[in-house]
Structure 1
Amino acid sequence: MRLWVLALVFVPEFGWAGLWQAVFHSISAFNNAGFALHSDSLSQWVGNPIVNLVIPALFILGGLGFIVVGDVYRTRNWRKLTLHSKLMLVGTALLITWGSVMFGLLEWQNPETLGPLNVVEKLWASWFQGTTPCTAGFNTINTGGMHNSTSLLPMTLMLVGGGSTSTAGGIKVTTLCVLLLATIAFFRRQTTLHAFGRSLGLDEVMKVLALTTISMLLILTGVFVMTINHDGQFTDIAFEVTSAFGTVGLSRGITSELDGIGRGIIMTIMFVGRVGPLAIGFFFATRSVPKVKYPAGQIYLG
């Protein structure tokens, strides 16, 4: 259905070749690939309502995950949804709202991004750029023209990514939710995590901590090695590495400047980000029963 809606935009501009454009961009959006058939991605349609609604709808749907989509379709009742689905829906909505509002506020007067657009186009562009960092990879403005402060916004969204069992990358929305729930439980002196009338055990918290630690170490190592190999702006390099880890595809324009070593680093980070740091960790991890038990010790934290 959405394919034919996109055809209403592309066919009048490109003739029957527009059908191919609609097919390509629909598949690319749903799979969170971010590949476009134009050098400026989708910037030509920055104010087009159809493109700004259909493309985000596709990559948000793909980023939620098949389990969530199937759960919503099967139950169609908020109370009957699983805890995973509820966390994904609420977390995704909050991240998109936060990203869209903050992007608009930070870039409203920037002459390289939103500045030249009219009010309606600015709103559409802010909505699109607030959703696309969740591993979609499309853009309707000049990503390289963003302020440094604004660049940190999509970097955080790219790090989080989408949902488990989805076409998106990142550490996943549910990981962020569990981290926040664990932080709240600590300050409330609670021994268990609670959300939507359900509890989460220590095992989930340990997995989340392991995943986040591995991901942060991978990104920091990638940025460090890239700064040694490539003499460029730190923000551009950090943006590139984070985008690679989240398998997003957004860039501030330095991709073509990288040499073979730099591109190899980016490809390695993309591969690990796509497979999943936790999956690789489980592959190398060994399970063994301790033969010796040690007395409890105490350390001071914070």
Structure 2
Amino acid sequence: MWQQHTPHHVQQYMQQNPYRLLALSFLAVMMVGTLLLMLPIASAEGQGTALVDAAFTAVSCVSVTGLATVDTYYHWSLFGKIIMVILIQLGGLGIVSFTTIIASLFGRHVGLRNRLLLSEDVGQDGMKGLLHVTKKLTIYTLVIECIGGLLYVIQLHPYIGNDAFYIGFMQAISTFCNAGFVFFDNDLPYKMVGDILFNINTMLLIVIGGFGYLAAFDIWSHRKLRRFDDLKLHTKIMFVGTVVLIMLGTILFLGVEWANPNTFGPLPIWNKVMAAFFQSVTPRTAGIATVDYNQLHPITLFVTIILMFIGAGPNSTGGGVKISTVMVAILSSCTLFNNRSHVEAFGRRISMVTVLKANGIIFLSILLVLLATCYLAWDEPYDFIRLLFEVTSAFGTVGLTTGITPDLSEGSKWVLILVMFTGRVGVMTVIGTWALRTKPNKPISYAEENVML
């Protein structure tokens, strides 16, 4: 059907494989970032950074992960941090989206191939109104980052002085893009575990950045009606899924860590609630922590692994398999109990193609995480739960860590680099990059036969 209704020149562009072009664009930016971070001027001590550490940092920035093999605050110079922020912004906003906006500002025409790439980059079906949506997305991103940056300046100034005037905006970009990098001392968030303004500002940036712009625009367009029923199905699923995951995570963290003397134990009751809420939000793929994850109970680590694997929403700055993907998989499982032949939600039917895609993404993602974890378990002396935590954090582009990342072997670091890259561009994009082009569907239907389950 697609081939019948699509112009021939559009088919020719599609045959160039936009998945491959999109993946290569991310890879190219990562390589340039690696070279820049290897320069002596990029380090605080004026010495060059090792290839594996520079590459790890560049990939972590572009994939908006936040895992680091060197201390961000102490190792990198201001030049190095600026390079990191640029890479984070490119990764969060989308490389094709960013270059499209720059081309538009200079009056350059955006060709058909770039529009196809842009539709893949921002996750929109079709090209109708694509440039308008991209401009709205850019303004939406920059406005929120500026507001968050101003609030960070106010919050951080008492702690780090005048450095807050630029670090605050760096941190806002990192937080909104769900990157997880902390551009001030890593111990400072532990001291701010009960700081209401810091917690609320950070959590709002994380949730807004990870919610997905299509769902956010849908809510904004219906702000005057204030009716849940008028929202699109995707927005409803994202809203319910986000609220449920945050609430469940908060309850579980409170229950397990309440009396832990190394985490929530010494905190006042209100600070315990705030810490649990924050730790439930940050696995949305943000990576900032107000408690030491090296001291968490294994149950809490495992719950966090699940939340990191799920991640944020599609067409957002976050990673993971996406909340909507898991919700569709859950809804498809529910059809076993309601004896229906179709997957339904909120009075709408979900297409079988979407259901198959959701289950395929989850299966392939689990396979990738398990294979990478097995390699690390073979190569590293750490507990399996901690290795699984690091790999899932890399895949979900989260950046949370139990503190073992800097001590990993060079081989394990390269494995995590691959996992971060795959987590950012998506398993479907990676598969689409190397998969053979499918042939046109033939009007043939094979006989159906049952398989025992």
TM-score interval (norm. to shorter): over 0.9
| Conservation of the 8 A alpha-carbon contact between 1:41 and 1:139 | no
**Of 279, 284, 297, the match for 2:449:** 297
The alpha-carbon deviation at position 257 of structure 1 amounts to: 1.5
Instruction: Give the aligned partner of residue 116 of structure 1.
Output: 266
1:18 lines up with 2:168 in the alignment: no
| 1:67-82 alignment, distance < 5 Å | 67-76=214-223, 77=226, 78-82=228-232
Tell me, yes or no, if structure 1 residue 230 matches structure 2 residue 377. Answer: no
Q: For residues 274 and 142 of structure 1, what CA distance do their matches in structure 2 show? A: 26
Deviation at 1:41, TM superposition (A): 5.9
Query: Which amino acid is 1:25 matched to?
Result: Q
Deviation, structure 1 residue 11: 1.7
How far apart are the structure 1 equivalents of 2:158 and 2:404?
34
Equivalent residue number for residue 133 of structure 1: 283
Q: Which amino acid aligns with 1:39?
A: N
Q: After superposition, what is the alpha-carbon deviation per residue over 1:69-108, rounded to whole angstroms, capped at 9, x for unaligned?
A: 1111122232321111111111001101111111011001
CA distance in 2, matches of 1:2, 1:255: 29
Instruction: Name the counterpart of 1:55.
Output: 202
Q: CA deviation at 1:111?
A: 1.1
TM-score, normalised via structure 1 length:
0.95
Match of 2:191 in 1: 44
2:393 to 228, 240, 243: 243
Question: How far apart are the structure 2 equivalents of 1:97 and 1:282?
Answer: 36
Please give the secondary structure, in 2, of the residue aligned with 1:176: helix
SS in 2 for 1:194: strand
Query: 1:294 Cα shift?
Result: 4.3
Q: Within 1, Cα distance between the matches of 2:383 and 2:293?
A: 15
Q: CA RMSD in A?
A: 1.5
Structure 2 residue 142 is matched with structure 1 residue 142: no
Report SS of the residue matched to 1:16.
Answer: helix
Q: Is the 8 A contact 1:95 1:157 kept in 2?
A: yes
Tell me the distance in 1 between the aligned counterparts of 2:365 and 2:208: 24
Q: Distance in 2 between matches of 1:12 and 1:149?
A: 36
- In structure 2, runs of 5+ residues without a counterpart are 1-146
Deviates more, 1:73-82 or 1:89-98: 73-82
**Which residue pairs with 2:431 in the alignment?**
281
Deviation at 1:291, TM superposition (A): 8.6
1:194 and 2:331 aligned? no
Count of residues paired in the alignment? 301
- Deviation of 1:224 after TM superposition, in Å, equals 0.8
Identity, in percent, stands at 33
Deviations, residues 178-231 of structure 1 (Å, cap 9, x unaligned): 011101112212111111121101111110111011101001101111111112
Secondary structure at 2:319's aligned position in 1?
Answer: coil
Structure 1 residues 264 and 65, CA gap change in structure 2 (3 angstroms): same
Q: Do 1:41 and 1:138's aligned partners in 2 also have CA atoms closer than 8 Å?
A: no
Amino acid aligned to 1:20? Y
Whether contact under 8 Å (2:148, 2:169) holds in the other structure is: no
